[in-house]
Amino acid sequence: MSEDMIATLGQKVAADILNEPDRKIRPDEPLISSGLIDSMSLVDVAILVEDTYGVHIDDTELNADTFDTLIQLAELIQARQ
């Protein structure tokens, strides 16, 4: 379940946010603190998660302290589903 979600999130982030559909994102790869997802794309992450999983991430939570990797993002989504 969680692995499926991580794979799906990874594909969506690569395609919709990085604009590089072939890019593989490792489950533990830092996304925000590395600058891979820049601040101007954070709101896209929130919209992507809400549209796909119906889970709301508040804008005050869009930072590396709340989630920085696909694993952490999947955990956050599961905790709220």
Partner 1 sequence: MTTFSDILYTHYQTHPDQTAIIMQYAGQPDRPVSYRELLSGANGFASTYARRGIQPGEVVILILQHGEDLIHAFYGAILHGAIPSIMPFLTEKLLPERYRADLAALVSVTRPSAVVTYPEFEPEVYAALPVPPSGWYRAPLGEAAPDAGTSVREVIVTGQVDAPSEPDFTALGGMQRAAEDIVLLQHSSGTTGLQKGVALSHRAVLNQVETYKKALHFNPQDVIVSWLPLYHDMGLIAGFLMPILTGNPLVLMSPFDWVRSPVRLLQAISQYRGTLAWLPNFAYNFCARKIRARDLEGIDLSSWRGVINCSEPMRYESHATFLERFQPYGFRPAALMTCYAMAENTFAVSQGGVDAPVTIDKIDREAMQVERVARPAQEGRPTTHMVSAGRPIASTEVKVVDDQGRTLPERQIGELAVRSDCMLTGYYHRPDATEKAFIDGWYLTGDYGYMADGEVYVAGRKKDLIIVGGKNVYPQDLELLAMQVPGVHAGRVSAFGVFNDQTGTEDVIVVAEVDSQDPDERVRIADEIRQALNRGSAIAVRHVHIVNSPWIVKTSSGKTARLANREKYLQEVGQPVR
Alpha helices in 1-81 (DSSP H): 2-12, 42-53, 70-80
Does position 52 bind partner 1 by CB under 8 A? no
59 binds partner 1 (CB under 8 A): yes
User: Please, which residue, 32 or 77, has the CB nearer to partner 1?
Assistant: 32
| Cβ atoms of 13 and 37 closer than 8 Å | yes
Residues 6+ apart with CB under 8 A from 41: 17
Q: From the list 2, 3, 15, 34, which residue makes contact with partner 1 (rule: CB under 8 A)? A: 34
Binding mask 6-25 for partner 1 (x = CB under 8 A): -------------xx--xx-
